[in-house]
């Protein structure tokens, strides 16, 4: 590719050459600055440079303070000082002179004064206040150049608190006849908007005027403000879409004066700017997007493919097309465009193409398939940057089928990773993938071993934490748990038997914990072997004292029998006199516990790993002690933040919990309990929980549910082998691959690889892109029964269904699996399930369920699907009783469940009646009713047949809820054409964003055959939230007592005048909270989860957003509530 512009370089020998002709007005190498620069260039050592600059600064200092220095000389000195600072040597003594120069100089001197101020000072520098008067004077000057300079400096740096002093003058300049003044005034207002948005709120209409300015420069400047505002609140500016589209049309159509062109492309950066604005406006909005399609099409068409800058515009177009509501013909064109990028021999374009592809596959994973060969080539690219970008792309398309290959590639890159930052980033990603998609125990443990050894002590601490959590919490299958732990133990023992000096500390900690906890599982290694290995670690001089604590703890769990006690005695004697207090305490514990095995069993019970220990984070067991101490006259304890607040004497609502996340140091307290680090990190309510919410909220773009994690991992032995992705099959018969080979490849001349490596690459491709395929490429791997259905272990799976599935899953598993591995949209789901058997029907509903719609249907016939897909959890799921009634009566004539609603519950607030499932002639539906502080679940079973249904049994259970039956007598038989009503009272056991009840219905058919049917009913947590009526004082005391905190920024909904009040009232009404008080920019709310679990909320308006802190004694509650707040505000 040739760049026209590059030619100008030949005209620039000047840039570096030192011997030059002195020009009339400008400085040359003979000037003092010239001498300085020349001197610096000739130097060879940093030390000499330092000496030279110090000398220079001395001389500048002397001259600036001399009264005889003219402004002209001052300007010259200033430039030298600027140069010295840019080399990293502070010249703070000239700062005041810079302000003076701006004040007293003329023309260029003044400009250099302002320039120096903007370079030297930061926004909060106190000297900046001295500039205000000068700026004021210059803004009123009749000399346009001075006005210009003042506006320039204002838009670069200005003290926030002085904005009101100059705002009227700047506003006035918006009407100035000269375009440059108007333009600079708009930019100054943009700066004000950035640093103090409230101050310019009243002039929003003037921004609109600037947008319509006849001068393109002024209009361009106003776009900065609009981009910012639209990014913050796209809803508020939808009406401007047409204007932006029009402007872009005119620019693309070449309506701007020719001097706006760059390399004959009209105002390219303006085009990019407009495209960004349009993508914010069109995002998730079909109607707005429809206005944008045409201009996007035109942009794509007009762009000639021969200049860098057009590629930059195209890249932005592609991003826009994939951000706004999708339109098929544009998507096609964008895809073609990306093809041109990635296939380009120009490396910069290739990079940008990969970046675009990474963005695009989040919306459409099929794109990766189209470009798989290019991606493979990029993976082996000599340039690390390209490789890295490719890995980023692969990370986004990882699934259970290709995880092994992708992780291998990532680890390969990590081995020669150049810098810490990349290492930390990649290690985190590998750990995430391993947890999600590990195909088997061995692979998982080995991968994590590599992660720990490579990541070392720089990696994120939550990686070892969640790993240990996984091991300790276990999964549903006891046998699998045992195998995983056993494998870990074996793997660590053999690691410790080798060279241990290079293992990072955090890995050693993980090893010690696992060995302490689970080495009893291993029959090959007796405890004394393990103890000896641990002892060896203790003696190593690289071992940190934190790690030693972990090791001592592990030993405490292990020492048994005479040999063990002997080792323990030795070790504890060594460390009992350690300088480190924690270490000393561990040694004490080891000594005591090793001697008293009964006590040890009690303190560290074996095999309790499955039930998480309750941690009383409020330390209520100390209450007696505390009250005793208080009675004895001790000062009450104040947490650190409270002490700080008292110091700061905050007057309004002194509850602000900035950065007060209680510092629970892992090293000091986690080891004392057997379930060390993880449960504690949970209870601190910071890291663990919030990431979980993001998973639940579906922020992750992978369609596949976590295989590892809370729910554990269910391996299916016979499929493990087959699941290994590298198979001998070549995927050449894939239609999309052939397209790639025949079509695009031949159009663009790329070096054709020789057949041999080609084959290799294709094999690699087949393993990398397995599972990324769409329906059209179902046969990519050629072998339909090779799929490994990891979704079998869905959360709501009822016993019995599993067997039924695994026996008949083979013929349809491929289709299902493809479905599950993809982020395919509903249309595909329907077509697949229509073609497949009943088993698919039972599985496929879970796909939409993962997207947050409905999963009440479990095994519905196709015809009933549509109705049951009505989301029952949308909003609060609540409707007015009367309106729902009439609606229901209208839609269903004979057996309308709502008319069977128990009399005492009529007229109460209740959810819509949602169908659950049908079984033969029985139809199940349910709703929930708010009865005071009780939540009642009502299940209707209607029998629409002509015969009676006998021996009906309804069993409900839930992990999250306590379900109690409140019906007086359980109905056993249902006559024909009647409805039976069951009532249950619900109470929350473990909060989640949504809570779910699983049910089983069993009955006898007239023929006498027993039948069972499973269903589930989901309701949002908000159904259990009630206002908590307390006063501000009570709030204050409660706040301090709660330890589980979540902090989050939410959008502030603006109604025009009082955004805070409006937003809080919105939350109050929608979520049933109690608004305790609003003071200034802050507000507090309180609610309780039924029955009586409080949650407090503290909101504060900060930088246009609503900063929210939630606290509660219940660990999961703040997280869940913040999720619902987010939803309420987003819907608004």
Partner 1 sequence: MIKFLLMVNRQGQTRLSRYYQPVELTKRAALEADVVRFCLSRNKEQCSFVEYKDFRLIYRQYAALYIVVGVTDAENELSIYELVHNFVEVLDKYFSRVVSIMFNLDRVHIILDEIIQNGHIVETNKSRILAPLTALDKMADG
Minimum CB distance to partner 1 smaller for 385 or for 634: 385
Question: Of 86, 581, 807, 863, which lies in the binding site for partner 1, with binding defined by CB under 8 A?
Answer: 86
Contacts of partner 1 in 751-780 (CB under 8 A): none
Contact 137, 105 (CB under 8 A): no
Q: How far is the CB of 382 from partner 1 (least distance, A)?
A: 8
Question: Of 85, 285, 996, 1116, which lies in the binding site for partner 1, with binding defined by CB under 8 A?
Answer: 85
Q: x/- site string to partner 1, residues 889 to 908, per CB under 8 A?
A: --------------------
Phi-psi region of 952 (alpha: psi -120 to 50; beta: other; left: phi over 0): beta
Q: How far apart are the first and last CA of the chain?
A: 49
Residues linked to residue 1004 through DSSP beta bridges, in sequence order: 950, 1010
User: Strand order of the sheet with strand 994-1004?
Assistant: 950-957, 994-1004, 1010-1020
Number of H helices, E strands in the chain: 50, 18
Q: Does 3 engage in binding with partner 1 (CB under 8 A)?
A: yes
Minimum CB distance to partner 1 smaller for 93 or for 262: 262
On the 0-12 / 13-18 / 19+ scale of CB atoms within 10 A, 780 is buried
Sign of CA dihedral 380, 383, 385, 386: negative
* SS3 labels along 21-55: CCCCCCCCCCCHHHHHHHHHHHCCCHHHHHHHHHH
Q: Does 636 engage in binding with partner 1 (CB under 8 A)?
A: no
Minimum CB distance to partner 1 smaller for 422 or for 528: 422
Q: How far is the CB of 251 from partner 1 (least distance, A)?
A: 12
Stretch that binds partner 1, among 350-358, 397-405, 521-529, 646-654 (CB under 8 A): 350-358
CA-angle at 797, arms to 791 and 799, nearest 5°: 125
Contacts of partner 1 in 247-306 (CB under 8 A): 259-260, 262, 267-270, 272-273
Q: Does 857 engage in binding with partner 1 (CB under 8 A)?
A: no
Which residue, 1114, 1070, 1088, 1089, is CA-closest to 1029?
1088
Minimum CB distance to partner 1 smaller for 319 or for 1070: 319
Residues linked to residue 980 through DSSP beta bridges, in sequence order: 941
Q: Does 190 engage in binding with partner 1 (CB under 8 A)?
A: yes
Count of Cβ atoms closer than 10 Å to residue 656 Cβ: 18
Count of Cβ atoms closer than 10 Å to residue 332 Cβ: 11
Give 1004-1034 as a DSSP string. Answer: E-TTS-EEEEEEEEEEEGGGGEEE----HHH
Q: How far is the CB of 380 from partner 1 (least distance, A)?
A: 15
Minimum CB distance to partner 1 smaller for 18 or for 1029: 18
Q: How far is the CB of 309 from partner 1 (least distance, A)?
A: 5
* Helix residue spans in 869-931 (DSSP H): 881-891
Contact 113, 100 (CB under 8 A): yes
Q: x/- site string to partner 1, residues 589 to 628, per CB under 8 A?
A: ----------------------------------------
Q: How far is the CB of 218 from partner 1 (least distance, A)?
A: 11
Minimum CB distance to partner 1 smaller for 123 or for 476: 123
Q: How far is CA 364 from CA 367, 703, 823, in A?
A: 6, 11, 8
Cis peptide before 1091 (omega within 30 of 0): yes
Q: How far is the CB of 659 from partner 1 (least distance, A)?
A: 21
Stretch that binds partner 1, among 213-221, 548-556, 876-884, 940-948 (CB under 8 A): 213-221
Contacts of partner 1 in 398-457 (CB under 8 A): 421-422
Q: How far is the CB of 50 from partner 1 (least distance, A)?
A: 11
Q: How far is the CB of 9 from partner 1 (least distance, A)?
A: 6
Minimum CB distance to partner 1 smaller for 12 or for 635: 12
Stretch that binds partner 1, among 215-223, 471-479, 540-548, 848-856 (CB under 8 A): 215-223
Contacts of partner 1 in 95-154 (CB under 8 A): 106-108, 111-112, 115, 118-119, 122-123, 145, 148-149, 152
Count of Cβ atoms closer than 10 Å to residue 830 Cβ: 14
Contact 405, 725 (CB under 8 A): yes
Q: x/- site string to partner 1, residues 694 to 733, per CB under 8 A?
A: ----------------------------------------
Which residue, 34, 33, 32, 36, is CA-closest to 17?
34
Question: Of 351, 492, 1015, 1123, which lies in the binding site for partner 1, with binding defined by CB under 8 A?
Answer: 351
Q: Extract the tokens encoding 721.
A: 């082998």
**Those residues with Cβ within 8 angstroms of residue 992's Cβ, 6 or more apart along the chain or in another chain:** 696, 960, 1021, 1116, 1120
For tokens 């009780």, the residue is 934
CB burial string 515-548: b at 16+ within 10 A, e below: bbbbbbbbeebebbebbebbbebbeeeebeebbb
Question: Of 97, 333, 366, 388, which lies in the binding site for partner 1, with binding defined by CB under 8 A?
Answer: 388
Minimum CB distance to partner 1 smaller for 195 or for 714: 195
Contact 1020, 997 (CB under 8 A): no
Minimum CB distance to partner 1 smaller for 117 or for 484: 117
Q: Does 226 engage in binding with partner 1 (CB under 8 A)?
A: no
| Torsion angles phi and psi, residue 974, rounded to 5 | -120, 125
Coil, strand or helix at 72: helix
Q: x/- site string to partner 1, residues 312 to 341, per CB under 8 A?
A: xx-xx-------------------------
**Those residues with Cβ within 8 angstroms of residue 969's Cβ, 6 or more apart along the chain or in another chain:** none
Q: Does 88 engage in binding with partner 1 (CB under 8 A)?
A: yes
**Those residues with Cβ within 8 angstroms of residue 878's Cβ, 6 or more apart along the chain or in another chain:** 909, 910, 911, 930, 1023
CA distance 995 to 988: 8
Q: Does 182 engage in binding with partner 1 (CB under 8 A)?
A: no
Question: Of 39, 197, 217, 753, which lies in the binding site for partner 1, with binding defined by CB under 8 A?
Answer: 217
Q: x/- site string to partner 1, residues 46 to 75, per CB under 8 A?
A: -----------------------------x
Q: Does 155 engage in binding with partner 1 (CB under 8 A)?
A: yes
Q: How far is the CB of 270 from partner 1 (least distance, A)?
A: 8
Q: Does 634 engage in binding with partner 1 (CB under 8 A)?
A: no
Q: How far is the CB of 997 from partner 1 (least distance, A)?
A: 43
Question: Of 1, 96, 129, 194, which lies in the binding site for partner 1, with binding defined by CB under 8 A?
Answer: 194
Q: Does 158 engage in binding with partner 1 (CB under 8 A)?
A: no
Q: Does 311 engage in binding with partner 1 (CB under 8 A)?
A: yes
Which residue, 1054, 1131, 1049, 1102, is CA-closest to 204?
1054
Stretch that binds partner 1, among 19-27, 682-690, 712-720, 1118-1126 (CB under 8 A): 19-27
Minimum CB distance to partner 1 smaller for 270 or for 514: 270
Q: How far is the CB of 110 from partner 1 (least distance, A)?
A: 9
Contacts of partner 1 in 562-581 (CB under 8 A): none
Q: Does 8 engage in binding with partner 1 (CB under 8 A)?
A: yes
Helix crossing, 505-518 with 462-473: angle to 10°? 10
Q: Does 352 engage in binding with partner 1 (CB under 8 A)?
A: yes
Q: Distance between alpha carbon 1035 and the CA centroid of its chain, in Å?
A: 31
Site residue total, partner 1 (CB under 8 A): 92
Stretch that binds partner 1, among 22-30, 460-468, 717-725, 786-794 (CB under 8 A): 22-30
Q: Extract the tokens encoding 477.
A: 């299958």
Contacts of partner 1 in 356-385 (CB under 8 A): 383, 385
Contacts of partner 1 in 27-46 (CB under 8 A): 27-29, 31, 33-34, 37, 40-41
Contact 1013, 955 (CB under 8 A): no
Q: Extract the tokens encoding 540.
A: 């190593």
Question: Of 1, 129, 347, 540, which lies in the binding site for partner 1, with binding defined by CB under 8 A?
Answer: 347
């Amino acid at each position: 590719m040739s760049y026209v512009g590059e030619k100008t370089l030949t005209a620039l020998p000047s840039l570096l050459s030192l011997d030059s002709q002195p020009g009339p007005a400008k400085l040359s190498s003979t000037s003092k600055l010239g001498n300085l620069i020349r001197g610096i260039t000739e130097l060879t050592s940093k030390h000499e440079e330092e000496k030279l600059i110090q000398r220079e600064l001395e001389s500048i200092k002397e001259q600036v303070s001399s009264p005889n220095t003219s402004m002209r000389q001052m300007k010259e000195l200033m430039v030298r000082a600027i140069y010295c600072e840019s080399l990293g040597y502070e010249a703070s003594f000239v700062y005041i002179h810079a302000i003076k120069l701006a004040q007293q100089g003329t023309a260029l001197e003044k400009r250099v004064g302002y320039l120096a101020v903007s370079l030297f000072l930061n926004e909060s520098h106190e000297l900046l206040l001295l500039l205000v008067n000068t700026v004021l004077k210059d803004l009123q000057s009749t000399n346009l150049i001075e006005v210009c300079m003042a506006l320039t400096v204002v838009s670069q740096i200005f003290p926030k608190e002085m904005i009101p002093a100059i705002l009227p003058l700047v506003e006035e300049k918006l009407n100035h006849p000269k375009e440059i003044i108007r333009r600079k005034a708009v930019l100054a207002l943009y700066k004000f908007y950035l640093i103090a948005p409230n101050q310019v709120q009243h002039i929003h209409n003037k921004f609109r005027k600037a947008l319509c300015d006849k001068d393109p420069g002024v209009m361009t400047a106003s776009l900065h403000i609009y981009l910012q505002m639209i990014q913050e609140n796209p809803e508020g500016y939808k009406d401007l879409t047409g204007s932006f589209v029009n402007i872009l049309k005119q620019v693309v159509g070449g309506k701007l004066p020719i001097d706006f062109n760059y390399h004959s492309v009209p105002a390219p950066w303006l085009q990019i700017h407009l495209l960004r604005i349009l993508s914010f406006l069109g995002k998730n909005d079909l109607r707005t997007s429809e206005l944008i399609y045409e201009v996007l099409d035109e942009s794509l068409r007009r762009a000639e493919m021969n200049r860098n800058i057009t590629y930059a515009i195209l890249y932005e177009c592609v991003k826009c097309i994939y951000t706004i509501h999708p339109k098929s013909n544009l998507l096609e064109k964008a895809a073609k465009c990306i093809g041109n990028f990635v296939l380009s021999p120009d490396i910069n374009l290739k990079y940008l193409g990969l970046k675009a592809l990474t963005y695009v596959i989040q919306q459409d994973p099929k794109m990766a398939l189209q470009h798989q060969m290019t991606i493979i080539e990029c993976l082996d690219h000599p340039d690390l940057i390209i490789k890295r970008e490719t890995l980023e792309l692969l990370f986004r398309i990882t699934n259970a089928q290709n995880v092994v290959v992708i992780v291998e590639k990532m680890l390969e890159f990590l081995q020669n990773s150049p810098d810490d930052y990349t290492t930390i980033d990649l290690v985190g990603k590998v750990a995430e993938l391993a947890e999600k998609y590990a195909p088997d125990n061995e692979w998982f443990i080995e991968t994590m071993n590599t992660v720990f050894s490579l990541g070392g002590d720089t990696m994120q601490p939550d990686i070892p934490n969640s790993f240990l959590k996984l091991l300790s919490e276990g999964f549903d299958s006891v046998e699998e748990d045992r195998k995983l732990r056993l494998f870990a133990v074996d793997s660590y023992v053999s690691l410790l038997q080798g060279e241990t000096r290079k293992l990072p500390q955090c890995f050693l900690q993980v090893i010690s914990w696992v060995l302490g906890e689970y080495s009893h599982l291993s029959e090959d290694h007796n405890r004394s072997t393990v103890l000896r290995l641990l002892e060896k670690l203790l003696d190593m001089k690289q071992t940190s004292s934190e790690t030693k604590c972990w090791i001592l703890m592990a030993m405490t769990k292990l020492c048994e029998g005479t040999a063990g006690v002997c080792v323990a005695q030795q070790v504890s004697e060594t460390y009992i006199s350690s300088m480190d207090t924690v270490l000393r305490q561990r040694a004490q514990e080891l000594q005591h516990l090793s001697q008293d095995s009964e006590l040890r069993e009690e303190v560290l019970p074996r095999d309790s790993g499955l039930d998480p220990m309750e941690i009383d984070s409020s330390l209520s067991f100390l209450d007696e002690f505390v009250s005793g101490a208080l009675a004895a006259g001790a000062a009450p304890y104040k947490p650190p933040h409270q002490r700080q607040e008292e110091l700061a004497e905050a007057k309004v609502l002194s509850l602000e919990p900035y950065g007060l996340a209680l510092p629970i140091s892992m090293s000091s307290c986690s080891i004392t309990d057997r379930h060390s680090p993880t449960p504690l990190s949970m209870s601190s309510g910071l890291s663990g929980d919030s990431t979980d919410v993001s998973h639940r909220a579906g922020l992750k773009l992978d369609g596949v549910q976590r295989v590892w994690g809370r729910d554990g991992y269910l391996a299916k032995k016979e499929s493990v082998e087959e699941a290994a992705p590298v198979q001998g099959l070549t995927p050449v018969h894939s239609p999309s691959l052939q397209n790639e080979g025949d079509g695009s490849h031949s159009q663009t001349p790329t070096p054709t690889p020789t057949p041999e490596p080609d084959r290799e690459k294709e094999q690699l491709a087949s393993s990398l892109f397995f599972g990324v395929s769409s329906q059209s490429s179902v046969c990519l791997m050629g072998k339909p029964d090779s799929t490994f259905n990891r979704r079998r272990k869905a959360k709501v799976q009822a016993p019995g269904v599993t067997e039924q599935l695994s026996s008949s899953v083979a013929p349809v598993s491929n289709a299902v699996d493809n479905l599950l591995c993809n982020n395919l949209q509903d249309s595909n789901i329907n077509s697949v399930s229509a073609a497949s058997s009943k088993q698919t029907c039972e599985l496929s509903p879970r796909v939409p369920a993962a997207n947050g719609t409905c999963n009440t249907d479990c095994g519905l016939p196709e015809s009933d699907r549509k109705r049951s897909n009505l989301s029952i959890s949308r909003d609060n799921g609540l409707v007015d009783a009367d309106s729902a009634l009439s609606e229901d009566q209208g839609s269903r004539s004979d057996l309308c469940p709502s008319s069977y609603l128990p009399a005492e519950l009529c007229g109460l607030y209740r959810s819509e009646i949602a169908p659950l499932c049908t079984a033969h002639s029985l139809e199940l539906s349910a709703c929930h009713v708010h009865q005071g502080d009780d939540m009642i679940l009502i299940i209707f079973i209607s029998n629409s047949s002509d015969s009676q249904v006998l021996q009906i049994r309804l069993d409900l259970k839930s992990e999250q809820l306590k379900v109690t039956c409140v019906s007086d007598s359980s109905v056993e038989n249902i006559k024909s054409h009647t409805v039976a009503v069951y009532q249950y009272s619900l109470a929350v056991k473990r909060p989640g964003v949504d809570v779910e009840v699983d049910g089983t219905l069993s009955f006898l058919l007239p023929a006498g055959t027993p039948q069972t049917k499973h269903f589930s009913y989901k309701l949002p947590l908000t159904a259990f939230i009630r206002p908590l009526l307390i006063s501000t004082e009570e709030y204050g005391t409660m706040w301090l007592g709660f330890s589980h905190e979540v902090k989050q920024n939410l959008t502030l909904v603006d109604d025009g005048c009082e955004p805070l009040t409006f937003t809080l009232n919105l939350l109050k009404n929608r979520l049933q909270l109690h608004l305790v008080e609003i003071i200034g920019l802050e507000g507090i709310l309180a609610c309780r989860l039924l029955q009586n679990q409080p949650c407090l909320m503290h909101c504060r308006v900060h930088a246009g957003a609503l900063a929210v802190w939630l606290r509660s004694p219940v660990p999961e509650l703040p997280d869940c509530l913040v999720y619902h707040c987010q939803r309420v505000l987003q819907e608004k």
